[in-house]
Structure 1
Amino acid sequence: MTTNVAQAQACPECEEPVDLTDSARLNEILECAGCRSELEIVALNPTVLALAPEVEEDWGE
């Protein structure tokens, strides 16, 4: 199986290249192979990666 790699963006945490495919979607969560950080695609044109927000409990609030 082949993956169509559209481009690579630098991880905002460690600057390691993160490969993105042509099918990348807005708000998709990826993992950096270098530092294992969870990254979110926050924009597509141009593609911008940001650290994904931590899941927090809302305690019913």
Structure 2
Amino acid sequence: MITCPECSVGVPVTESAAVSEVIECGDCHSELEVVSVNPVRLATAPEIEEDWGE
């Protein structure tokens, strides 16, 4: 279990988790991104922004 950076509840992360994988917190429903696998660290996933061709 890894602590959610948004609500501090434990989030289950599998051993096969990969960097950039997005996991949803079961408690606050935040989208979390795996930023490191050794040790496993989670961060709030960035919002998807639209590309207007700029």
Shorter-chain TM range is over 0.9
TM-score by length of 2: 0.95
Q: Which has the higher contact order (CA 8 A, sep 6+)?
A: 2
Moved over 4 A (4+): none
Structure with more strand by fraction: 1
The two structures, once aligned, show a CA RMSD in angstroms of 0.6
Return 5+ residue gaps in structure 1 as ranges: 1-7
TM-score by length of 1: 0.85
Q: Percent identity?
A: 56
Return 5+ residue gaps in structure 2 as ranges: none
Number of residue pairs matched by the alignment: 54
